């Protein structure tokens, strides 16, 4: 069975790809795909895109902190990424007295660059196919367990085998991080090797009003005018090797870096995006999509909406709290709105019906052949039964995690304390103290108490079955008459878990583990998670295996058509061209200009997200674009569209022209195609990027950072 899968995948990888859809591995660009890209305007060869023998485009692109992408733009390790990617680091460096989140920051000399504690970047060194190695290990397991079903064995051992291979490869490659990932729903496996740099320093950020212009109002929308970029620098030891922060470190010397495209772009011209897309589910069955919409996204939408109402009250009332929660708010609201848009687009575009038609085609394909029917004939029935059987558990688990794990922050503190050994000299105790120091820098107990009261009430209302309720509800009902607010107030009034001193207090008095209300509250959360997850464990195993079979069947049925693996936060290339689009009877131009920014800024009295400082408005009104003006239109281009295929994780990805020159940074998708993680719609789906010339204009004219402009010109 496994050998058949491998052959199918290798065949698929050699097929000609479509121009706009697909997240392609740079090390697997075959001659047909290379020809297609050349036909659209790519001037680089596959060897110039990816090579382990010499400098290539892959060396310009970095994994930014394992959550975004970035691009090297100077020989001295300067990195461009999105403002929202650097947002957490900028927020941590901000204080009410030195509010660089609001006011922006410019390092005019390298001595002024500020270390971003905890941030790192990763350079991909190479990617290796390890499918055969893992398949052989699986075959050995099958031989050792002849009486057990493949369904059970696949999911019991695949992850552990991948982990073992990953561990062996790390030992064999000292100095490199190695990550083994599954592709094509566990039908292929690759190892990626990275060099990781951990001394990263903030160099430049514009004001929050520019970096987040449009805010939640414009998030996932077009047209956009957001100047969504920030600038960091990578430091290394004197030999150019990774090192922890030290004043002795020097800027990393980079042999290859992206050159700036000053001529801009036109509608229909080639554009490619290279970065680290996080996760897509385009091979998922129709039952899986239905579950995503009706049992998963609903909790993200509903609970985060409630939580954000509470947070906003406190953030608006106190700027110090606003700074503390700025990054948390951005992360929460981003996927809150994403889930809203995804559900709407899946309904509007009929995505489930599209998938059902594909499944009917598959039934027709394997139905007439006994060998195929023996392999695939039961998968749809098993998928339907398993998804139906676990619906209530998945629905409850979504609300549970959003409420108790991601919503009420007190759980994080109490959970760390509950798992800390009662040994003051232990490494674990020191680690807990360190993590708590970082946590409490951005925490407000009064806000969290109000959040707890609101979310506990909300969970009771949304999840009716008591079997999904943690033990705290028995206490709320028996001692507080069902009053969640009274319970929350008592917990916060009596607990030690509201500052770093909790570590020493617990180490001095172990009886607190049995009496502190927050520790008792938190102790039941993982128990209930295990209980809910255990209830659907068998159904989940059936689903995972049969989704794997479904992908295998599709790859075999459509061997002459292109298929790329779902995103899994490994480096991918998407290509196509600059393109406008039409949706709901309205045509959208492929770029925005300065006047469109000023038009929105004129509405800042009615829409808070359109606020701009007076000096920025004056700068834009002058219209003195100089060398940053578009040569064809004479306008200042702010943001632009391509039909490149992106998702979360692609934020900060460089967008290149056919010569491999930097046009801008990808930072968003469009509302009309928010179902893109499930199904790509080539007519509607667009990648929104910030124009590099807009970025340079702000660095030059607003930041007056001549040092950076000169560095970028070298």
Per annotation, catalytic residue among 154, 228, 566, 645: 228
DSSP 565: P
Task: Report the C-alpha gap between 70 and 254 in whole angstroms.
Answer: 14
Active site residue 228: yes
Three-state SS string over 227-272 comes to: CCCEEEEEEECCCCCCCCCCCCCEECCCCCCCCECCCCCCCCCEEE
Q: Cα separations (Å) of 191 from 47, 182, 408, 699?
A: 20, 9, 37, 38
Active site residue 653: no
Say which residue the tokens 């036109």 belong to. 266
Longest CA–CA separation in the chain, Å? 78
Task: Determine contact, residues 52/126, Cβ cutoff 8 Å.
Answer: yes
Task: Report the C-alpha gap between 654 and 637 in whole angstroms.
Answer: 17
- Cβ-count burial 324-357 (b if 16+ within 10 Å, e if not): bbbbbbbbbbbebbbbbbbbebbeebebbebbee
Q: With H, G, I as helix, E, B as strand and everything else as coil, classify residue 320.
A: helix
Per annotation, catalytic residue among 84, 548, 563, 637: 84
Residue 533's nearest CA partner among 368, 394, 387 is 394
Task: Determine contact, residues 591/638, Cβ cutoff 8 Å.
Answer: yes
Cα angle for residues 142, 143, 145 (degrees, 5° grid) = 65
Burial class (CB in 10 A: 0-12, 13-18, 19+), 23: buried
Strand partners, 664: 655, 691
Active site residue 47: no
Task: Determine contact, residues 170/176, Cβ cutoff 8 Å.
Answer: yes
Strand partners, 106: 204
- Which helix or strand (DSSP H or E) is residue 489 part of? helix 484-494
Q: With H, G, I as helix, E, B as strand and everything else as coil, classify residue 115.
A: strand
Count of Cβ atoms closer than 10 Å to residue 309 Cβ = 12
Per annotation, catalytic residue among 192, 327, 565, 651: 651
Which residues neighbour 437 within 8 Å (Cβ) at sequence distance 6 or greater?
A: 500
Query: Do β-strands 78-81 and 230-236 pair in parallel, antiparallel, or remain unpaired?
Result: antiparallel
> Where are any strands of DSSP class E within 24-115?
61-64, 68-72, 78-81, 105-106, 114-115
Strand partners, 145: none
Residues taking part in catalysis: 84, 228, 651
């Amino acid at each position: 069975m496994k050998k058949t899968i491998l052959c199918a995948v290798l065949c698929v990888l050699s097929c000609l790809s479509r121009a706009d859809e697909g997240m392609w591995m740079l090390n697997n660009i075959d001659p047909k795909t290379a020809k297609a890209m050349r036909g659209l305007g790519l001037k680089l060869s596959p060897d110039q895109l990816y090579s382990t023998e010499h400098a290539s485009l892959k060396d310009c692109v970095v994994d930014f902190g394992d959550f975004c992408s970035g691009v090297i733009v100077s020989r001295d390790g300067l990195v461009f990424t999105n403002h929202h990617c650097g947002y957490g680091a900028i927020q941590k460096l901000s204080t009410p007295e030195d509010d660089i989140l609001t006011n922006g920051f410019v390092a005019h000399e390298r001595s002024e660059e500020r270390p971003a504690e905890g941030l790192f970047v990763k350079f991909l060194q190479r990617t290796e196919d390890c499918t055969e190695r893992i398949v052989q290990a699986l075959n050995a397991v099958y031989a050792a367990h002849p009486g057990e079903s493949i369904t059970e064995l696949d999911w019991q051992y695949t992850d552990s085998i991948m982990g073992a291979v990953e561990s062996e490869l790390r030992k064999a490659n000292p100095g490199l991080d190695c990550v083994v990932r599954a592709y094509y729903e566990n039908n292929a496996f690759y190892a990626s090797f990275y060099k990781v740099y951990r001394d990263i320093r903030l160099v430049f950020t514009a004001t929050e009003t520019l970096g987040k212009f449009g805010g939640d109002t414009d998030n996932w929308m077009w047209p956009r005018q957001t100047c969504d970029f920030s600038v960091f620098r990578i430091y290394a030891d004197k030999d150019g090797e990774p090192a922890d922060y030290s004043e002795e470190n020097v800027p990393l010397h980079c042999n290859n870096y992206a050159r700036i495209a000053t001529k801009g772009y036109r509608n229909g011209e080639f554009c490619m995006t290279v970065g680290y897309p996080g996760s897509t589910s385009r091979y998922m069955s129709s039952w899986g999509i239905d579950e995503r919409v009706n049992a998963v996204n609903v909790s993200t939408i509903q609970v985060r909406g409630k939580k954000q109402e509470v947070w906003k009250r406190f953030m608006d009332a106190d700027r110090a709290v606003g700074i503390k929660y700025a990054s948390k708010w951005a992360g929460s609201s981003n996927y809150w709105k994403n889930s809203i848009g995804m559900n709407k687009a899946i309904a509007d575009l009929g995505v489930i019906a599209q998938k059902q038609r594909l499944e009917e085609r598959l039934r027709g394909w394997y139905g007439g052949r006994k060998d195929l029917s023996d392999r695939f004939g039961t998968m749809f029935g098993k998928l339907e039964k398993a998804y139906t059987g676990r619906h209530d558990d998945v629905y409850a688990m979504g609300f549970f995690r959003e409420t108790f794990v991601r919503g009420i922050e007190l759980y994080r503190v109490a959970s760390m304390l509950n798992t800390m050994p009662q040994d003051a000299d232990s490494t674990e105790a020191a680690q807990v103290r360190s993590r708590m120091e970082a946590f409490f820098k951005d925490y407000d107990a009064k806000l969290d108490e109000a959040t707890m009261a609101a979310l506990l009430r909300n969970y009771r209302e949304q999840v009716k079955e008591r079997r999904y309720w943690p033990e705290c509800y028995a206490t709320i009902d028996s001692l507080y008459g069902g009053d969640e607010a009274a319970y929350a107030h008592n917990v916060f009034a009596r607990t030690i878990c509201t500052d770093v001193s909790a570590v020493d207090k617990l180490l001095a008095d172990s009886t607190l583990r049995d009496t502190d209300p927050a520790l008792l509250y938190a102790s039941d959360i993982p128990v209930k998670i295990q209980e809910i997850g255990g209830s659907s464990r068998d159904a989940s195993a059936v689903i995972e295996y049969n989704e794997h079979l479904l992908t295998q069947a599709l790859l075999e049925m459509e061997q002459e058509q292109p298929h790329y693996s779902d995103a899994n936060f490994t480096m991918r290339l998407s290509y196509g061209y600059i393109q406008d689009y039409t949706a709901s009877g309205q045509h959208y131009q492929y770029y925005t200009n300065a006047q469109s920014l000023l038009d929105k800024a004129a509405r800042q009295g009615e829409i808070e997200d359109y606020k701009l400082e007076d000096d920025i408005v004056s700068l834009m009104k002058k219209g003195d674009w100089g060398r940053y003006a578009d040569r064809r239109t004479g306008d200042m281009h702010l943001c632009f569209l391509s039909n490149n295929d992106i998702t979360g994780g692609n934020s900060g990805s460089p967008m290149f022209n056919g010569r491999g020159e930097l046009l801008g940074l990808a930072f968003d998708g469009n509302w009309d195609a928010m179902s893109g993680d499930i199904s790509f719609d080539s007519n509607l789906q667009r990648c929104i990027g910030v124009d590099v010339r807009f970025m340079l204009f702000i660095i030059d004219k607003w930041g007056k950072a001549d040092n950076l402009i000169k560095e970028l010109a070298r």
